[in-house]
Chain A
Amino acid sequence: MYNKVTDDVVKKLVAICGEKYVTTSEPLRHSYMARGIMGLEAVLPEAIIRPANADEVSRVLVMANEHLIPVTPAAGGLSGGFALPAIEPGGIYMDMTRMNGLEVDVENRVMVVEPGLKSGDAWRIFKTKYPEWAPPIPDGAPPAATVLGDAIERGFSLVTGVYGPQADMIMGLEVVLPTGDVLRTGSWAVPGAKPFYRWGPGPNPDGLFLGSQGSMGIITKAAIKIVPHPHFKTVVAYGGESFEDIVKPTWEVSKHELGIADRCVMVQGGNWQLVLTRWPKTNVPLDYEFYKKMGMSEYWMNYEIWAWSQEELDFTLKKIDEIYKAYEVKANTKCPQQYLHPKQIASRLKKPNKIAIPYALWEAGFLFITWYCPWLESANMMEQYCAKMEEYGFPPTMWVASIDHGRQAIVMPIVCFDSTKPGIYDKIREFNLETTKSFLKQGWLNYRPDPFVHAPETFSLAKDYYKMLVKFRKVLDPNLILHPGRLAIPWEAVTKLPNPCGEPKASESKVSKPTKPQVKK
């Protein structure tokens, strides 16, 4: 239903972005490929462009609409397959890295970022210029991830335990709609106004763009809250004999929200396999006994604490310890405090970091699958996940973090696999499908939905939601040119399941003539 990029289209791209910033080179197109991290499936783009500003983005979208060419935006590209075209033809890949501006307003405690601003760069600028403030960069993503890419994905930042998902930090967006129109949300909608009030003059459409993974509009600027950066910090960890033992005490720490809970900016944990699978499976002890001797519990939770003074830090540590002691008695279990070497603490406090990169060492490749569930249900989810991973022959590496004072959990299995093994991608897909079906029935939600498994399975259940989503999408993007396949739109491009909107009319299933959109001139 889409057209391919022709020489004529390339000429038009060159006229908009300049020769230097457009390529159809086969090797360069392959160089953007990725199969892993968040998404295993991706197809090759036909042309790559690197626009310089919102105006160029807008002109490209107008032209793409006229020619019915798909467009996929990418910032850091660290979501792997998710930042690549999902379906054929691959169309135009819009590499946003040239737009990497940052403006900081410490009075209003907000920063305005462009899509190309990398976490590592943001961190450096804040360290040298605004040491009393921190940008909410993703907690464990490598430094090339962007602040904006993470917000679009509603990821988890270094202060997610207190402030919620990254998208909750948004104060306003500048979005180029697929028709070429530029929209500003929040108080920013009023010309000259600062981005100080998220909800703006009327109903706020932000949510349509956050979590759309680039399929509703291309964000060219985002106003994002910055957070205070006190310099009394530490990390404390407690072990446990089960997932329950790490989830329940965390709830006790978090539920009051104020006081000690507000100092626990990042609360995350998992099982001992999180340590094991960061090494090659041929060059590391595989038996838990070795880790036990090192003093490591089978399960553990880390609390990263930020405080304004040593007294405050000590008080927080003491209170957490008391909560654990009380829990041990109540639950008749053991939750020993884990010894952390000062180097381990320093490495955990380092942001952004490379902690999560080496899971490919275990074999050769990994996939993060990210789910949300109510905090207290996360232990059950992790138990089920681990059992299934073992059944499928994957090491049961499991990670969990508290979102917004333990209101929700992000549960993330790390599926370590050998990407050179024939059939491995099918096997992972099967595993993903089986767990997704089961988890959806239990009311849990994948929040970075894979276009081929999670999105169709979820929307097959949430039919009315999908219908509404398609309506919004068609208003914003009448020709469905933006990141097609994402969020299972168009449905038939990604799944054979029955379309929640009903059978498409013959005229809709094959778009032969583009709808002339009301495009910005």
Chain B
Amino acid sequence: MTSTLEDLRMINARCIHCRACQYAYSGEPDREGQTEEYTGMIQGCPAGLYYGWEGYFNSGKQWIARAFLNNEIKPSKELLEVVEACTTCGNCETQCENRIDTVSVTEALRAAIIEAGIEPLAKHKKFGEMVGNDLLRNPYNEPREKRTDWFAGAKDRKDVKVAYFVGCTGAYRQQHIAKHTASLLKKLGIDFTVLTSEVCCGSPMLRTGQKAIFEDVMRKNIELFKNYETVVFSCAGCFKTFRNDYPRISGKPLPFKVQHTMELVRDNIRSGKLKITKPYSKTVTWHDPCHSIRHVGIAIEKDILSRSNNWLTDARTAEKAKEAWFELPREVMKAIPALQLKEMYRVKGDSFCCGAGGGVKAQFPDMALATAKERLKEAASTGAQVLLTSCPFCVTNLSDGIKALKEEEALSHKKLPGSDLEVVELLQLLDQLI
């Protein structure tokens, strides 16, 4: 269990401040790209790119964390503001040859500052209050009893092996994704239920350093779902939180199996049970959600290494397992007839974040928007019509980016790259095609 900043002292102490973590493809200077802009090593940290100061890059944050651990810097709002302006996307973690759990350090530092008496930042505090409120248990200020209103099927069933963890965004803001997922699960022949007492997975609390509330909802969810064999997800953030963070922070393995719906689709395609026949005649590019792709891939790799006493021989195996995970959405897209995939330059472990994560969208909206635009520019460079992804936050923030680009176009009368893109959720598309 490595959840407090103190627990991570030795890991943080590995940072030599080499700054490789500021880039995407920091280890692939010869990587071929389509243009000069997208070739070799390029900027990969949304926070550093936006603010420019070293403290916003992970490399700087690791040294802020070290100073904090060594009592060289006092907790303050100023400190928290620097440390919270990071999407926890994990590009830095991909780059670090010293295998520092960069995002865990950042999250633990946020928690340590708050535990030292500094109030969470205004927007984050509000989330905390709402998720901590027994009448709400979601960051959208919606009544708890309405959480599963979108679902027409039988709820709280005990006679099934599979439960669908919907998450707050699916339950209240993007109910169409929840509905499409439910429909997709049905089409895959999965007998499942949703639970009316489900509470927020806690991801926004953990990311923003509000650990006590996180631990409370984590315990509630584990207790609630413990008698199911499998819990399935549509939300990238909830999936990552259950899969990676619950065992890490609780110190115990999960009492159920967790799977993203996309895995179920892929498994059905692989076994030949599912064949998609309806074509999707569009050129698409794929945006890897940081939570469900990069973070899970890295966790797979770290898990293999944690069980190895010879990293020299096992590192390659672990890396291969991580890379195999990155292929998951690609395998699914390949099975869609007529879909033409044109990959962006920064993909998989080196993917560039949409800009929404880690509490940034609410607290630092300008940074979130600038990051989305940077990603849209890259998506547009592929010539794709559709930007496909599978995460409610990526969908929202990238769509907001397109809106902002359109507004800028209206003012400047100049065409901006990315404004024509259509953002589509892959699970929704799959439900429409199957």
Contacts and interface: CB of A to CB of B under 8 A. Distances in A.
Interface of A: 23, 25-28, 30-34, 36-37, 44, 48, 50, 76-78, 80, 95, 120-121, 123-125, 127-129, 142-144, 275, 279-280, 282-285, 350-354, 357-358, 360-361, 364-366, 418-420
Given A27-B79, A31-B60, A280-B311, A350 B20 contact: no
A144 B96 CA distance: 13
A31 B54 contact: yes
Interface of B: 9-11, 13-20, 22-23, 26-30, 36, 39-42, 52-55, 57, 59-61, 63-64, 66-67, 72-74, 76, 78-79, 82-83, 97-99, 305, 308-312
B78 A25 contact: yes
Contacts of A280: 311
A351 B60 contact: no
B16 A420 contact: no
Contacts of A26: 73-74, 76, 78-79
Given A31-B53, A34-B17, A284 B63 contact: no
A365 B99 CA distance: 13
Most buried by B among A25, A30, A352, A354: A30
Nearest to A118: B41
Contacts of B99: 358, 361
B37 to A, nearest CB: 9
A120 to B, nearest CB: 4
Q: Which 6 interchain pairs have the tightest Cβ spacing? A: A31-B60, A31-B55, A124-B40, A144-B19, A364-B13, A357-B97
B362 to A, nearest CB: 21
Given A33-B66, A360-B14, A361-B99, A354 B20 contact: yes
B79 A120 contact: no
A142 B29 CA distance: 10
A350 B29 contact: yes
Given A77-B17, A78-B18, A123-B40, A284 B310 contact: yes
Contacts of B20: 142-144, 354, 357
Contact of A283 (B14, B22, B63, B311): B311
A76 B309 CA distance: 35
B63 A34 contact: yes
Contacts of A285: 310, 312
Contacts, number: 168
B29 A351 contact: yes
Given A120-B40, A280-B311, A353-B27, 4 more contacts: A78-B18, A283-B305, A354-B18, A364-B10
A37 B64 contact: no
B9 A420 contact: yes
Given A120-B41, A124-B40, A143-B41, A279 B14 contact: no
A358 B98 contact: yes
A78 B19 CA distance: 8
A144 B23 contact: yes
A144 B18 contact: yes
A120 B36 contact: no
Contact of B29 (A23, A50, A95, A124): A124
Contacts of A366: 16
Nearest to B26: A143
B162 to A, nearest CB: 37
A100 to B, nearest CB: 12
A120 B10 contact: no
Contacts of A125: 36
B63 A120 contact: no
Nearest to A285: B310
A232 to B, nearest CB: 16
A424 to B, nearest CB: 10
Given A123-B29, A360-B16, A283 B310 contact: yes
A366 B64 CA distance: 19
A127 B40 contact: yes
A26 B42 CA distance: 29
A142 B19 contact: yes
B57 to A, nearest CB: 8
Nearest to A137: B29
B309 A283 contact: yes
B123 to A, nearest CB: 20
13 contacts: A27-B73, A31-B63, A31-B82, A80-B16, A123-B29, A127-B39, A127-B40, A128-B40, A144-B19, A357-B97, A357-B98, A360-B15, A419-B13
A30 B68 CA distance: 9
A32 B54 contact: yes
B52 A354 contact: no
Contacts of A358: 97-99
A25 B82 contact: yes
Contacts of A23: 53
A30 B305 contact: no
B67 A30 contact: yes
Given A120-B26, A124-B29, A420-B9, A34 B16 contact: yes
Contacts of B312: 275, 279, 284-285
A129 B35 CA distance: 11
Contact of B53 (A48, A128, A357, A360): A48
A78 B26 CA distance: 14
Contact of A124 (B19, B41, B72): B41
A50 B20 CA distance: 20
Most buried by B among A31, A284, A366, A418: A31
A37 B98 CA distance: 13
